[in-house]
Amino acid sequence: MVCIQNAVLITRVIEGLYKVVGRRTLDSFAIQLLKNTTKKLQPTYEFFSWFELQDESFIGTTVQIRFDARFDALLSPRLGEAIDALVRVIYLELLHTIGDEVGRYFITELKEHLGDEVIDSLSTCGVHLEELQVEQHLRYQMKGLHPSPPRRPDQDEELRPEYTWDSVSTWKYENNICRLFDSKGTLLDTLYLDLIIEEYVERLAESKESDFIPSPKTTMLKISAKEDELLAMMRRRDIDVDSAVALLHVSRQKLDTMIQKLLQLEMLKYISDSEVKLTEKGIQYLSEKQS
């Protein structure tokens, strides 16, 4: 097996996370999330301060990072523990920001970006992505058992607006705060990422001390009304992005997320780099809905 240096290994992991998160949200959001998470993990893993992620570190789909010379001398188990925590926190933050359905294939896509050599090196360090993948699917099956996200003391739970991911049209990210808006521009929620990451790090530590795994319950990935409408439109005729945005009354950002979800559900498939079409599964789904 090829031996990969520590600096190269974590760079590849960060690149993979950047691609997976950026495809679901925005590149700018992915960059800020990675920067903030590595900083938040520094008190637990001090060697995360031996490199620094900056906006300029992200060039296209690659990441260029300068490391302290000590980084490659780290023991593999310690580095593996830190990478495991990084992947878990990023994944959980994506779940909180976007929702369970979008995060379901997170590890699957990450593995595709990393490749076999990196996956083997991670396994040697104690990072077993297959186990994380199983945990993901269990988490998806156990919807409703997740803890509520942290909130500020001055927020009254009864005053918090209730919404689903389908209600979210756009979001804005600034200074570690993500604000979610509906199609009318009404603020739905304000996510304080510092608090979220801190709580998730604490929960990761607690989870290692407990072997309890709740019994999963079967659930189905639900297709929203807007996604149904998009599939029906695509079945009737060819449609471009601008027309879909106008007819569905959604933002381009929301449409991209809908398409990615339908691709993951195998309702759509790529026929070129910029075109998708209904699959046989998608056509069958629509036929069954009409019958």
**pLDDT of amino acid 212:** 42
**pLDDT of amino acid 176:** 65
What are the residues whose beta carbons fall under 8 Å from the beta carbon of 72, sequence distance 6 or more? 5, 6, 7
User: Coil, helix or strand for 180?
Assistant: strand
**pLDDT of amino acid 206:** 56
**pLDDT of amino acid 254:** 80
* Cβ atoms of residues 249 and 170 within 8 Å: no
* Cβ atoms of residues 247 and 255 within 8 Å: no
The neighbouring-strand residues paired with 187 are: 181
For the entire predicted model, the pTM comes to 0.52
Instruction: Kindly report, residue by residue over 207-259, the tens digit of the pLDDT.
Output: 555 544 333 332 335 688 888 999 999 998 888 888 888 888 888 878 887 88
Higher pLDDT, 47 or 28: 47
**pLDDT of amino acid 241:** 87
**pLDDT of amino acid 177:** 73
| pLDDT at residue 83 greater than cutoff 90 | yes
Query: What domains can be seen in the chain, in order of their start residue?
Result: 6-141 (no CATH), 158-192 (no CATH), 225-290 (1.10.10.10)
* Rounded Cα gap, residues 171 and 178, in angstroms: 7
What are the residues whose beta carbons fall under 8 Å from the beta carbon of 53, sequence distance 6 or more? 14, 31, 34, 35, 38, 63, 65
Provide the mean pLDDT of the chain: 77
User: Coil, helix or strand for 156?
Assistant: coil
Read off the pLDDT of each residue in 157-165 and give the average, rounded to a whole number.
53
**pLDDT of amino acid 193:** 66
Select from 82, 78, 106, 81 the least CA-distant residue to 92. Answer: 106
Read off the pLDDT of each residue in 56-83 and give the average, rounded to a whole number.
90
Which DSSP symbol is given to 25? S
What are the residues whose beta carbons fall under 8 Å from the beta carbon of 122, sequence distance 6 or more? 9, 13, 80, 83, 114, 128, 129
**pLDDT of amino acid 26:** 78
| pLDDT at residue 146 greater than cutoff 50 | no
Residue 156 identity = D
* Alpha carbon distances (Å) from 212 to 101, 117, 229, 267: 24, 32, 41, 35
Read off the pLDDT of each residue in 127-137 and give the average, rounded to a whole number.
77
Instruction: Kindly report, residue by residue over 169-221, the tens digit of the pLDDT.
Output: 777 767 667 777 877 878 777 776 666 666 666 665 555 555 443 333 323 35
Backbone CA torsion sign across 117, 95, 85, 213 = negative
Instruction: Kindly report, residue by residue over 5-22, the tens digit of the pLDDT.
Output: 999 999 999 999 999 888
* Rounded Cα gap, residues 230 and 262, in angstroms: 10
Residue 38 pLDDT grade (very low, low, confident, very high; cuts 50, 70, 90): very high
